[in-house]
A = this chain, B = another copy of it.
């Protein structure tokens, strides 16, 4: 069997499974998820064994300690996976929601109903717990999943999927589709373009990971892709800002968890408040040893203030303005008002999350209207762009695309819709 044939088999099986998934009730799906949670918890030793093989592969590949740590399935992580499945089970069923309903003059009643998408391919990197998280969200939404994790996590991923399938079958018997959750069983790199050429079976691909991976997937895919490349988020401190609030927001947006995509990378400060605000925020950020990469004006200003005390103060390069650091590094630029801030964000931003701090409602409204990002805040941290924080429950990712979902993708964003028409013999005239 060629690689393409192998991928076709997976995809065809997934398509069949998707049809069967569409027939499960909310209760059945939740029952299966609960059984999967139990199965993962009870399979601790088997998971440890499969994971040990992966860790060995990882070491032989020369993975760093941090990478090996991400790959490791500890008892705590297994418990967290199981807990995740229970939380997904507890969420309301997103399928079958009536999104619109209308009756036409001819008496034809139309109902727009949320449905599963169908077959969803998820591509991700090391962490094997993503397998359970992504598969459970797709299962709850009635989507069949094909999962492709990092090559060093293959044994763990295959076992997690098998445990979930077996538990589902025990819970629901024949009604549980045997191919609802599949892991690509090869580490061949060519499997991805092969799988993503199968437009007759695959409805959506969601890559998660570094920008390189996501660009490679987007480049080769013939099926729709929902993604975000990177999170270059901004805080704009307007001249009418409450500067204490602004300081707290900048500190939180940068330092609360710098490794996340919704952490802020660039601080834009309105010129009239720059001389007051910049030394204060620099001093505050020094607590976390944040490196500041500054435009000439900010650099001159900060260098002239001895109280700045920031340990790392450097000149920003042009590339810095569009870089996601995921680290204690912050770009700083002095701009001339909200227009210039919007312009900077349009030029260098990644359309993820941006915030304005101001007491001026007119300026805030302009910023929120004109900044073309998935989430645009007024007087709040950029860190809120997240499925849990938005009240959606678990999320499968964040989209900076504009077709399909935008922003956090929870269960509702993993749905499509269809139109049902109810007639009593209506004919087109």
Contacts and interface: CB of A to CB of B under 8 A. Distances in A.
A106 to B, nearest CB: 9
A306 interface: no
A307 interface: no
B425 A117 contact: no
A402 interface: yes
Contacts of A242: 425
Nearest to A375: B419
Given A104-B389, A203-B402, A389-B428, A423 B19 contact: no
A225 B223 CA distance: 9
A289 interface: no
Contact of A384 (B108, B222, B252, B372): B108
Nearest to A204: B403
Interface in A189-233: 199, 203-204, 218-219, 222, 224-226
Contacts of A110: 390-391
Contacts of A429: 256
A406 B427 contact: no
A378 interface: yes
Contacts of A257: 428
A419 B374 contact: yes
Interface in A86-104: 102, 104
A425 B224 contact: no
Interface residues of A, number: 67
Interface in A167-203: 199, 203
A368 B257 CA distance: 47
Interface string A390-412: 11000000000111101100000
Most chain B C-beta atoms within 10 Å of own C-beta, residue among A374, A377, A379, A421? A421
Contacts of A117: 402-403
Interface in A103-118: 104, 108, 110, 115, 117-118
A420 interface: yes
Given A19-B372, A219-B222, A370-B23, A406 B418 contact: yes
27 contacts: A19-B346, A22-B370, A22-B372, A102-B391, A104-B391, A110-B390, A115-B372, A117-B403, A118-B372, A203-B403, A224-B225, A224-B403, A248-B427, A252-B428, A256-B428, A256-B429, A257-B428, A376-B420, A378-B422, A379-B426, A380-B423, A380-B425, A380-B427, A381-B428, A384-B421, A390-B419, A402-B416
Interface of A: 19, 22-23, 102, 104, 108, 110, 115, 117-118, 199, 203-204, 218-219, 222, 224-226, 242, 245, 248-249, 252, 256-257, 346, 355, 368-370, 372-381, 383-385, 389-391, 401-404, 406-407, 416-429
